[in-house]
Structure 1
Amino acid sequence: MTVLTTDRLRLEPMDSAHYAGLRALNSDPVVMRYITGAAETPDETRAVIERVQGRWRTVGYSWWSFLDRETGELVGAGCIQHLGHDPANPHEIGWRLWPEHWGKGYAIEAARRMARFAFEELDAPLLCAICDPDNAASARVMHKLGMRYQGEESSHGSPVSVYRVERAAWLAGQAA
Structure 2
Amino acid sequence: MPSTAWALVDTASGELAGFCGLSHDTIDGVQEVHLGYRLATRFWGRGLATEAARRVVALGFTAHRLASLVAIIEPAHGASRRVAEKVGFQDAASTAFQGWEVRLYRLTAAAWAETASPSGQAAGA
Q: With structure 2 as the length reference, what TM-score do the two structures score?
A: 0.85
CA distance in 1, matches of 2:97, 2:21: 18
Give the Å deviation of 1:73: 1.2
Q: Work out which of the two has the higher radius of gyration on C-alpha atoms and give 1 or 2.
A: 1
CA contact (8 A) 2:95 2:102 kept: yes
Query: Which residue pairs with 2:96 in the alignment?
Result: 154
Q: How many residues align?
A: 116
Alignment of 1:9-158 (within 5 A): 59-84=1-26, 89-158=31-100
- Specify the code of the residue in structure 2 equivalent to 1:122: H
Query: Which residue pairs with 1:173 in the alignment?
Result: 115
Give the Å deviation of 1:60: 4.4
Query: Which residue pairs with 1:36 in the alignment?
Result: none
**C-alpha distance after superposition, 1:19-44 (max 9, x if no partner):** xxxxxxxxxxxxxxxxxxxxxxxxxx
Root mean square deviation of aligned Cα: 1.8
Q: With structure 1 as the length reference, what TM-score do the two structures score?
A: 0.61
Higher strand share: 2
| Fraction of identical pairs, as percent | 33
- Specify the code of the residue in structure 1 equivalent to 2:54: R
CA distance in 2, matches of 1:147, 1:104: 20
Give the Å deviation of 1:129: 0.6
Give the Å deviation of 1:66: 0.8
Give the Å deviation of 1:72: 2.3
Runs of 4+ aligned residues of structure 1 deviating over 4 Å after TM superposition are none
- Specify the code of the residue in structure 2 equivalent to 1:127: L
Give the Å deviation of 1:63: 1.4
Structure 2, gaps ≥5 residues long: 118-122
